[in-house]
Structure 1
Amino acid sequence: MFSYGVLRLLGLSLTLFAASIVVFVVLEVLPGDPAQVMLGISAQEDTLAALREQLGLNAPILTRYVDWVLGMLQGDFGISYTYNVSVSELIAERAAVSLPLAAIALILSTAIAFPIGIMAARFRGKALDTGIMGLTQVGIALPNFWFAILLVYVFAITLRLLPSGGFPGWDQGVFNGLEALILPAIALALPQAAILARVMRSALIDVMSEDYIRTARAKGLSARVTLWRHGVRNALIPVLTILGLQFSFLIAGTVIIENVFYLPGLGRLIFQAITQRDLITVKSGVMVLVALVVLITFIVDLAYAAVDPRLRRGR
């Protein structure tokens, strides 16, 4: 188990290193002047020269890359040109909204998908299975931003049960903060729950047709005990893969959802930085998102080893 974890951590570290090269090349090395992009075509030459000096664009490419990576490892992401504050402070402030939002959405999608996916597999081919699969197809087809607008209209405007947008801040109380994240989390969670439920159903149906399941039934175990004791656990491996991918989708989805609900999150920060040509914030924000995805992938890999004993034995 330990050697497996070390090998996976090494592989994901190489992935993070490769991602840093790609982000750096796309935003700083490709043809075009970052200072010109940030200030616009009407900027004076002396202003451009001052910004190039401030951003370190006059240094060699390799030096700029090494300084950027070493700075990130020390928690220094540079100074935002638009906000004139530390990018690390901006990211930390916005991540306090985006990470709870993604976590709540992931918990909701899992809590919804697992029961209905297992139920659909258990009653395969019956009316309940057909109804569940129909609902999941609708959930996949609906864009999450359209669903978010619908939630605002129903629960915020019509019923006046929840706020329509904005975030009061965690210093105003945990309940107020969670209340502001409920509708965005539901908008993010339901499409992902539909996908996860279908994967859970398919994986469980495949597992329940295996020989060891028939052997367990032949030994006298009931269908329900066989399902929970042998079926669900062995069906979790493909489901864990989807869970790991869903975190990436949820983080990416916050860019749209946070703009719909006017949430000051990490996705909206990157979106605003792109529109304001704040390349320093874009570069650092994207790397933080990549690091989060790599971290979640590592956790999912460890969960694989916990579920599948063959991985713990190094197979």
Structure 2
Amino acid sequence: MTAYLLRRIVSGLVTLVVASIVVFSVLEVIPGDPARLMLGMNATDDAVQALRVQMGLDQGFLIRYFHWTGGLLTLDFGKSYTYSVPVGELIAERVTVSLPLALIALALSTAIAIPVGVFAAARRGKPADTISMAVAQVGVAIPNFWFALLLVYLFAVWLQLVPAGGFPGWQAGIGPALKALILPAIALALPQAAILARVSRSALIEVLGEDFIRMARAKGLSRNAALWRHALRNAMLPVLTILGLQFAFLLAGTVIIENVFYLPGVGRLVVQAINQRDLIVVESVVMLLVASVILINLLVDMAYAVVDPRLRTRA
């Protein structure tokens, strides 16, 4: 098991190195001069060059790359060109919105999807199964930004139960903060729940056809008891895979939802930084998201071994 985890950690570190090279290289070839953008098109060449020297943009590619990666290793992300504050402070401020939003959305998605998947698998081929999967298919097909607009119109504009957008901050209290996050979380959760429900149903149906389930039924165990006690745990491997991917998506892919609801999260920070050509912010946020995805995949691999003891033996 230890050797297996070490291999996964080494693989993750190699991925981080490759990702840092790709991210830094891609952003370097994007047209536009951050110094010119900050000073405006009417700025003199001398002023632009002086700002480039101050920002370190006059140095070579390799020097700036190693300086940037060295800062990442010490959690020094540099200073934002636009806001003139440390990038770490910007990210820490925005993560307090994006991370709770992703966690709430993942909790809602799981709480909806697993029961629906079990319900549909237990009634395979019946009208309840057909209706459940038809609704799930609709959930997969609907874009989350369009669904978010519907939620805003229904609950914020018409019923006026929750705010249409914005975030009051956690200092305003847990109640107002959660109230501002609930609609974005639902908009993110329901499409993901539809995917997870279909995967759960398929995995359960496959497991229900295994010999050990038939043996349990032959010993007198009811269908529901066999499903909940034996089949569900054995069907969790593909479900865990999807959960890991979904959390990574929810953490890194909230750009559209955060802009629809005007949430000051990491996704909106990236959009603003791209528009303002604030490369140091974009590079740092992207690398943190890559590291988060790698960490989540490692945790999912560890969860595999907990759910299926055979994997521990193989490792």
TM-score class, shorter: over 0.9
In structure 1, the residue matched to 2:176 is 176
Deviations 1:27-76 (A, max 9, x none): 12x37564467456655322332232233233332222121111112121
Q: Tell me how far apart the structure 2 counterparts of residues 25 and 83 of structure 1 sit (CA, whole Å).
A: 23
Asked if the contact 2:144–2:191 (Cα under 8 Å) also holds between the matched residues in 1, the reply is yes
In structure 2, the residue matched to 1:291 is 291
In structure 2, the residue matched to 1:106 is 106
* Cα gap change, 1:116 to 1:266, in 2 (>3 Å): same
Asked if the contact 2:36–2:48 (Cα under 8 Å) also holds between the matched residues in 1, the reply is no
What amino acid maps onto 2:247 in structure 1? Answer: F
In structure 1, the residue matched to 2:219 is 219
Asked if the contact 2:105–2:189 (Cα under 8 Å) also holds between the matched residues in 1, the reply is yes
Matches within 5 A, 1:43-82: 43-82=43-82
* Cα gap change, 1:86 to 1:311, in 2 (>3 Å): same
- The answer to whether 1:4 aligns with 2:29 is no
Q: How many residues align?
A: 314
Asked if the contact 2:113–2:197 (Cα under 8 Å) also holds between the matched residues in 1, the reply is yes
Worse-superposed segment, 102-111 or 8-17: 8-17
In structure 2, the residue matched to 1:262 is 262
Q: Tell me how far apart the structure 1 counterparts of residues 42 and 31 of structure 2 sit (CA, whole Å).
A: 15
Q: Identity of counterpart residues, as a percentage? A: 63
Asked if the contact 2:35–2:51 (Cα under 8 Å) also holds between the matched residues in 1, the reply is no
What amino acid maps onto 2:176 in structure 1? Answer: N
Q: Tell me how far apart the structure 2 counterparts of residues 171 and 143 of structure 1 sit (CA, whole Å).
A: 32
Worse-superposed segment, 35-44 or 194-203: 35-44
Worse-superposed segment, 181-190 or 44-53: 44-53
Asked if the contact 2:157–2:164 (Cα under 8 Å) also holds between the matched residues in 1, the reply is yes
Asked if the contact 2:32–2:277 (Cα under 8 Å) also holds between the matched residues in 1, the reply is no
What amino acid maps onto 1:54 in structure 2? Answer: Q
Asked if the contact 1:196–1:239 (Cα under 8 Å) also holds between the matched residues in 2, the reply is yes
Matches within 5 A, 1:120-131: 120-131=120-131
Structure 1: segments with no counterpart, 5+ residues: none
Q: Tell me how far apart the structure 2 counterparts of residues 51 and 38 of structure 1 sit (CA, whole Å).
A: 11
Worse-superposed segment, 224-233 or 180-189: 224-233
* Cα gap change, 1:45 to 1:132, in 2 (>3 Å): same
Using the TM superposition, give the Cα deviation of residue 230 of structure 1 relative to its aligned residue in structure 2, in angstroms: 1.5
| SS of residue in 1 equivalent to 2:220 | coil
Q: Tell me how far apart the structure 2 counterparts of residues 82 and 31 of structure 1 sit (CA, whole Å).
A: 17
Q: Tell me how far apart the structure 1 counterparts of residues 99 and 112 of structure 2 sit (CA, whole Å).
A: 20
Using the TM superposition, give the Cα deviation of residue 141 of structure 1 relative to its aligned residue in structure 2, in angstroms: 1.0
Q: Tell me how far apart the structure 2 counterparts of residues 232 and 271 of structure 1 sit (CA, whole Å).
A: 41
Structure 2: segments with no counterpart, 5+ residues: none
Q: Tell me how far apart the structure 1 counterparts of residues 81 and 305 of structure 2 sit (CA, whole Å).
A: 44
Asked if the contact 1:35–1:48 (Cα under 8 Å) also holds between the matched residues in 2, the reply is no
| SS of residue in 2 equivalent to 1:84 | coil
| SS of residue in 2 equivalent to 1:77 | coil
What amino acid maps onto 1:194 in structure 2? Answer: A
- The answer to whether 1:232 aligns with 2:247 is no
Asked if the contact 1:36–1:43 (Cα under 8 Å) also holds between the matched residues in 2, the reply is no
Using the TM superposition, give the Cα deviation of residue 314 of structure 1 relative to its aligned residue in structure 2, in angstroms: 3.1
Q: Tell me how far apart the structure 2 counterparts of residues 34 and 289 of structure 1 sit (CA, whole Å).
A: 25
Aligned Cα root-mean-square deviation (Å): 1.7
| SS of residue in 1 equivalent to 2:164 | coil
Worse-superposed segment, 170-179 or 55-64: 55-64
Q: Tell me how far apart the structure 2 counterparts of residues 308 and 48 of structure 1 sit (CA, whole Å).
A: 60
| SS of residue in 2 equivalent to 1:85 | coil
Question: TM-score under structure 2 normalisation?
Answer: 0.95
* Cα gap change, 1:198 to 1:36, in 2 (>3 Å): same
Q: Tell me how far apart the structure 2 counterparts of residues 190 and 37 of structure 1 sit (CA, whole Å).
A: 43
- The answer to whether 1:151 aligns with 2:151 is yes
Worse-superposed segment, 214-223 or 119-128: 214-223
| SS of residue in 1 equivalent to 2:288 | helix
